[in-house]
Structure 1
Amino acid sequence: MLKLENITKSFNGTTILNNLSLEVKDNAILSIVGPSGAGKTTLLRSIAGLDRVDSGKFILDDKPFDPAEASDTERIIGVVFQDFNLFPHLTVMENVTLAPTMVLKQSKQQATDNAKKLLEQLELSSHADQYPFELSGGQKQRVAIARALAMQPKILCYDEPTSALDPSLRDAVADLILGLKKTGITQIVVTHDPDFAKKISDQLLEVKPINK
């Protein structure tokens, strides 16, 4: 279980998160919703260790945990970014295997075998040798998820997973996230879409702008 206790974060003198506390249960899907500027992405980036908080505590499995200090090799939290951040000069397979070989020091064969399983799971096997520019938005997103899963995180975070996609693909994304729940991974989703959030979530957190 991941716990946040009294998390506070400010930018340039403006408080974005103020003494926020929450619990995310193991194997749960937490959706964070709220208007633009309410701090959804800031909260997600803080959980992922991409932004350091000003004060407060993170506790993972009853032990203090600082996501900003966690090394890549600890493989605790993965992130699927809104713009996917795929390497354009690498194939799908190369995108998925790069970090496991460089960071986790997996052999090329081990990383490739694991990647093949992930690509099959995400219905991407036939795209392994393609480059990102040859993929649809939905396919790029699934590659980004495969790349994050290849690092074997305990928690997978998504920043607006439906924002760059055609509305008709929203249900497919929901099915994908719900399918990953069966693998035992905990997922945290930032979304501007309350209906999408209700469909996928075990827990729902609504953040609101802090009154000045």
Structure 2
Amino acid sequence: MLELKGITKKFDGKTILDQIDLTVPDGQILTIVGPSGAGKTTLLRCISGLASVDSGSFLLDGVAFDPATNRDNDAVIGVVFQDFQLFPNLTVLQNVTLAPTMVLKKSGSEAEQEARKLLKQLNLEGKADLFPYELSGGQKQRVAIVRALAMHPKLLCYDEPTSALDPDLRREVEQIILDLKQEGMTQIVVTHDMPFAESIADQMLRVEPKA
């Protein structure tokens, strides 16, 4: 279970997040919605450790936890970015196995075996040796999810996972997220897509721009 207590974040003296209190139970999906500029992505970046907070605290399973300084953060909180952030010079398989071999110190064969299993699970069989430029937007999104899952995170975060996808692919991503929930994955999804948010959410947090 992830808990946020009094999370506050400022930029150039302007308060973006103001005393956010939040609890995400294990295995549930939280969607964060609101207009552009309201702080949705900022909150996700603070949760994932990509940005530090000015005040407040995080608890993971009841234990104090700082995402911004945790050395094993990749194995605790996975992130699927809006622009995927795949390495263009690496194949799909190399993109997926890089962090498990470098961070988790898995052998190449072990990382590859697990990567191929995950690729199959997300209907990416036959794509392992392709480069990102050879993939569709939906395929890149699924590779980004596989890459995050390969680190065995306790929590998986998504930043606007459907923003560049057509309706059919949006439904595909929705199903992937719901399937992962069935497997017990705790997930946080930032989105401007209200129907998508409502269809997957156990709870929804609406953030509003600060005056």
TM-score range, shorter chain: over 0.9
The equivalent residue for 2:33 is 33
Is 2:49–2:73's contact at 8 Å kept on the other side of the alignment?
Answer: no
Gaps spanning 5+ residues in structure 2: where? none
% of aligned pairs identical? 65
TM-score (structure 2 length as normaliser): 0.98
Distance 2:190 2:163 in 1: 10
Match of 1:5 in 2: 5
Measure the CA separation in 2 of the matches of 1:149 and 1:118: 8
- Alpha-carbon distance in structure 2 between the residues aligned to 1:74 and 1:190: 19
After superposition, residues 178-189 of structure 1 pair within 5 angstroms as 178-189=178-189
**Shift of the alpha carbon at 1:99?**
0.6
Question: Deviating runs (4+, > 3 A) in structure 1?
Answer: none
Conserved? CA contact 1:73–1:103, under 8 Å: no
Report the CA distance between 1:73 and its aligned residue: 6.3
Equivalent residue, structure 1, for 2:198:
198
- Aligned-pair CA distance for 1:184: 1.1
Q: Is the contact between residue 73 and residue 104 of structure 1 (CA under 8 Å) also seen in structure 2?
A: no
Note the aligned Cα RMSD (angstroms): 0.9
**Structure 2 equivalent of residue 145 of structure 1:** 145
Aligned to 1:119: 119
Measure, in 2, the Cα distance between the counterparts of 1:46 and 1:143: 24
TM-score (norm 1): 0.97
Distance in 2 between the 1:172 and 1:123 partners?
11
Structure 2 CA distance, aligned partners of 1:26 and 1:39? 24
Q: Give 1:134's aligned residue.
A: 134
Displacement of 1:37: 0.6
CA contact (8 A) 2:39 2:208 kept: yes
CA contact (8 A) 1:100 1:151 kept: yes
After TM superposition, list the pairs within 5 Å mapping 1:1-212 onto structure 2.
1-72=1-72, 75-211=75-211
Q: Distance in 1 between matches of 2:174 and 2:190?
A: 13
Listed as ranges, the gaps of 5+ residues in structure 1 are none
Alpha-carbon distance between aligned partners in 2 of 1:48 and 1:73, rounded to the nearest angstrom: 8
